[in-house]
């Protein structure tokens, strides 16, 4: 067997220098992603993570992004790690059998999810949970049409992408799946129009659009969707992959309006930031219609789905979230309100900030567009405002944040639920100092650093268009 060179061991990898790691990424993964990270100074190698803090050579950084919402309980939570090790002698992947951990997790999910959701399907990512939900809806209703919202994000596999309302992600992969149609987010009348045709299998929606820029729908929207879907016998799929499990100050965002979806998708935080897991949960009735016979019970499966380690991580996560009657979640709601109020007054002091919005600890801050900056500087701000601010926050104040995928002018904050008010104060003060510099200050500060990095690499403006 030809092995072209020495294989790198785990120990070698852990001891590799930053330039070696970068080289491997550039050569063997994605050179342009590497460059993008480099431009905004995010090409770092973190060597330790604990709670809300991540470290580079002992230097601490506050993680207000937490793996895009994955580390809701912080990084390397000792209880989660300990619980995972309890199953180390169990067969981890043994599909032709009944795993007590998978069964227990499904039972616990049925106890905490709204309405009569009871049947779980386990997989390994958010997109896969969405794929499963879309297939379930078609199989259960014998209808084809799926309605989704503009500016949504449901993942990048073919089915999930077909329901993701962003042309940039969809266009290179067309034709996508047939019978997917979009409507504006927050517009229940538009949904009624679609449902009237009587051929809709499901409507899929995020309670708050995360990657869309933390967009909240009008009050009562979800309740109206639930009513409409029931009236026209279409299924309501709620994608709570980002909003779920305490993020918005309730276990599930739909609880704020007392809404009971037909299918609920979860992933991210369920992993305890330890082992990937995704799941959809549905009612007995829907599940039975789709897969309720020996003939059909294996129509949709996943080799890795429901493995013992992932289920142990999820069981430990749910246990921590539910303790003391969900104290952590309630506190997250209160801290989110505190954070939002502080950002609101920051906005009033800084014309560079257009809007602050969110619920619980899912918060976005949108930057305004400079009217007096012209040409390349204006373009730079328009396309990279949130990245430029995130870059300054990291470099100067050791705080990790990021922009939202569908809107580069929104910087998002998804700190772990256990963030303290002192940490929130520190982040708001740091942001305030950056925003105080105004458009030109931010562009000339972070933009200049990014520009210098680009020029050093010999890239032209066209490259980043």
- Taking the least distance from each CB to ligand PLP, the nearer of 120 and 242 is 242
Q: How far is the CB of 289 from ligand PLP (least distance, A)?
A: 24
Say what the alpha-carbon torsion angle 376, 382, 386, 392 is, to the nearest 10 degrees: 20
Q: Residue 356, by phi and psi: left (phi above 0), alpha (psi -120 to 50) or beta?
A: beta
Bridging pattern class, strands 48-50 and 263-266 = unpaired
Closest CA to 267 of 153, 434, 412, 168: 153
Other Cβ atoms within 10 Å of 75 Cβ, number: 21
Q: Does 68 bind ligand PLP (CB under 6 A)?
A: yes
User: x/- string (CB under 6 A) for ligand PLP, residues 109-128?
Assistant: ----------------xxx-
The CA–CA distances, whole Å, from 458 to 41, 185, 376, 451, 452 equal: 17, 41, 17, 10, 10
Which residues, 234 to 263, sit near ligand PLP by CB under 6 A? Answer: 239, 241-242
Task: Assign 173 to helix, strand or coil.
Answer: helix
Counting runs of H as helices and runs of E as strands, what totals does the chain give? 18, 15
Q: Is 206 in the site for ligand PLP (CB under 6 A)?
A: yes
* Position 131 contacts ligand PLP (CB under 6 A): no
Among 67, 74, 132, 155, binds ligand PLP (CB under 6 A): 155
Q: Choose between 66 and 446: whose C-beta lies nearer to ligand PLP.
A: 66
* CB of 124 vs ligand PLP, minimal distance in Å: 8
Residue 445 engages ligand PLP in binding (rule: CB under 6 A): no
Smallest separation, CB 69 to ligand PLP (Å): 7
Residue nearest to ligand PLP (CB): 126
Exactly one of 119, 138, 154, 194 binds ligand PLP (CB under 6 A); which one? Answer: 154
Give CA–CA dist 249/326, Å, rounded: 10
Q: Which is nearer to ligand PLP, 125 or 151 (CB)?
A: 125
Give the nearer residue to ligand PLP in terms of CB position, either 209 or 423.
209
394-433 residues in contact with ligand PLP (CB under 6 A) are: none
Q: DSSP letter at 90?
A: S
Taking contact as CB under 6 A, which single stretch among the options 26-34, 204-212, 307-315, 362-370 is the one that binds ligand PLP? 204-212
| Beta carbon nearer to ligand PLP, 153 or 413 | 153
* 3-33 CB burial, b ≥16 within 10 A, e <16: eeeeeeeeeeeeeeeeeeebeebbeeeeeee
Measure the CA–CA gap between 53 and 60, rounded to whole angstroms: 6
CB of residue 70 to ligand PLP, shortest distance in Å: 9
Give the x-and-dash track for 3-32 against ligand PLP (CB under 6 A): ------------------------------
212 touches ligand PLP (CB under 6 A): no
Picking from 36, 34, 39, 40, the residue whose alpha carbon sits closest to that of residue 18 is 34
Distance in angstroms (rounded) separating the CA atoms of residues 63 and 65: 5
210 vs 364, which CB is nearer to ligand PLP? 210
Contacts to ligand PLP by CB under 6 A:
68, 125-127, 130, 153-155, 206, 210-211, 239, 241-242, 267
């Amino acid at each position: 067997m030809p092995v072209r060179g020495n294989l790198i061991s785990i120990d070698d990898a852990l001891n590799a220098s930053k330039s070696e790691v970068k080289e491997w990424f550039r050569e063997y993964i994605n050179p342009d992603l590497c460059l993008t990270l480099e431009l905004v100074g995010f090409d770092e190698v973190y060597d330790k993570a604990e709670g809300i803090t991540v470290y580079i050579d002992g230097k601490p950084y506050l993680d207000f992004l937490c793996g895009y919402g994955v580390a809701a309980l912080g990084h390397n939570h000792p209880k989660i790690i300990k619980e995972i090790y309890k199953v180390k002698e169990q067969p981890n992947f043994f599909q032709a059998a009944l795993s007590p951990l998978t069964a227990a997790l499904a039972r616990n999910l049925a106890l905490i999810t709204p309405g009569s959701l009871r049947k779980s399907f386990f997989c390994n990512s958010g997109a896969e949970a969405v794929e499963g939900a879309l297939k379930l809806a078609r199989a259960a209703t014998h209808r084809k049409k799926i309605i989704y919202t503009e500016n949504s994000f449901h993942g990048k596999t073919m089915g999930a992408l077909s329901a993701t309302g962003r042309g940039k992600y969809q266009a290179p992969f067309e034709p996508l799946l047939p019978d997917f149609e979009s409507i504006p987010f927050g517009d229940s009348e538009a949904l009624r129009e679609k449902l009237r045709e009587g051929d809709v299998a499901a409507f899929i929606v995020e309670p708050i659009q995360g990657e869309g820029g933390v967009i909240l729908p009008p009050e009562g929207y979800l309740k109206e969707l639930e009513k409409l879907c029931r009236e026209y016998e279409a299924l309501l799929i709620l994608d709570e992959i980002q909003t779920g499990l305490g993020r918005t100050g309730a276990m599930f965002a739909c609880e704020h309006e007392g809404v009971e979806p037909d299918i609920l998708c979860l992933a991210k935080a369920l992993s305890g930031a330890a082992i990937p897991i995704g799941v959809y949960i549905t009612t007995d009735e829907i599940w039975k219609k789709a897969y309720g016979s020996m003939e059909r019970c294996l129509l949709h499966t996943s080799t890795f789905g429901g493995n013992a380690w992932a289920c142990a991580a999820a069981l430990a996560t749910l246990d921590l979230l539910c303790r003391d009657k969900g104290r952590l979640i309630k506190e997250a709601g209160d801290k989110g309100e505190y954070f939002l109020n502080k950002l609101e007054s920051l906005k009033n002091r800084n014309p560079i900030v257009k809007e602050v919005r969110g619920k619980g600890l899912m918060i976005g801050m949108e930057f305004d567009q400079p009217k007096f900056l012209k040409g390349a500087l204006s373009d730079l701000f328009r396309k990279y405002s949130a990245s430029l601010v995130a870059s300054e926050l990291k470099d100067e104040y050791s705080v990790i944040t990021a922009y939202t995928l569908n809107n580069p002018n929104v910087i998002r904050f998804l700190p772990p639920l256990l963030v303290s008010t002192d940490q929130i104060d520190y982040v708001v003060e740091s942001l305030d100092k950056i925003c105080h510099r105004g458009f030109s200050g931010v562009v000339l500060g972070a933009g200049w650093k990014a520009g210098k990095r680009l020029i050093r690499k010999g890239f032209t403006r066209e490259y980043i268009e």
